[in-house]
Amino acid sequence: FWLCFWAHIGMLQRDVDFSRIQAVSGAAAQHSIILLTSEFTSSIDSARLDAKKPLSEQFDSDKILARPYATNWQDSTTGTQCREMEEDVHAALGQQGDSAAMTMAKITGSSAHERFSGPQAKKVFQKEHSTWEKTAHISLLSSFLTTMLCADGKVRGPDESDASGMNLWDLSESGGRQWNEALLKSVVGGDEGEAKRLREMLGPVEQDPRVSAGTIGGWFQERYGFRKGESRGIFSFTWV
């Protein structure tokens, strides 16, 4: 998918003067996650990339991807994980008279959905534990594109609109707009250490859409002619 994206940029190059572009943003699926290893960050650092070569020749997918493919936003096999997460958060934070689904909705904005990142991550933890152990970063397709365009060796987290569609982000008045601890623990079977690691995997969430995620990466500047400078900002890709 993302290699096709860069190929499309190459086709645009014939008709577009990239030096005139002041900022870049876009849209991509929020309900698919890509699991990245610790080697990913060094691989996407423009300081180590050769602008004369396409990215496809410089990435070793077996080393940078903990899982060879993203989760499918149409996947409906995580019903069990949805119910478990609702029951766990209800046991920790539920109010008398509310159902488990209502507790989840009050905290995250919706009851648990099969395609959402929380249940999908929980399924990976339960069913693909060796994959989980290799994972250092969990990226949405949308935030992954933001990361790729910045190309500076840092993984960008999702913006708040996408984070709120994961069944992990606390939108409640008392929750403080942050990753919900009870839900993080639910994903990893109650393990506090793994819940802390999961928080780090997900990364920080930008709550202000006016804030740039970074500047266009050096690889893109050299290969496609984007101008250098802080004004050439990358703003978070978000859901379609």
pTM of the model: 0.91
- According to the model, what pLDDT value does residue 9 have? 63
- According to the model, what pLDDT value does residue 5 have? 58
Q: Are 236 and 206 in contact (CB under 8 A)?
A: yes
Summarised one tens digit per residue, pLDDT across range 51-105 is 999 888 888 989 999 999 999 888 999 999 999 999 999 999 999 999 999 999 9
Which residue from 138, 109, 142, 105 is spatially nearest to 124, judged by alpha carbons? 138
Average of per-residue pLDDT values in the chain: 90
Burial-class residue 147 by CB neighbours within 10 Å (0-12, 13-18, 19+).
buried
Q: Are 180 and 189 in contact (CB under 8 A)?
A: no
Which residue from 101, 100, 102, 137 is spatially nearest to 117, judged by alpha carbons? 137
Statement: residue 1 has pLDDT above 80: no
Summarised one tens digit per residue, pLDDT across range 195-228 is 999 999 999 999 988 889 999 999 989 988 888 8
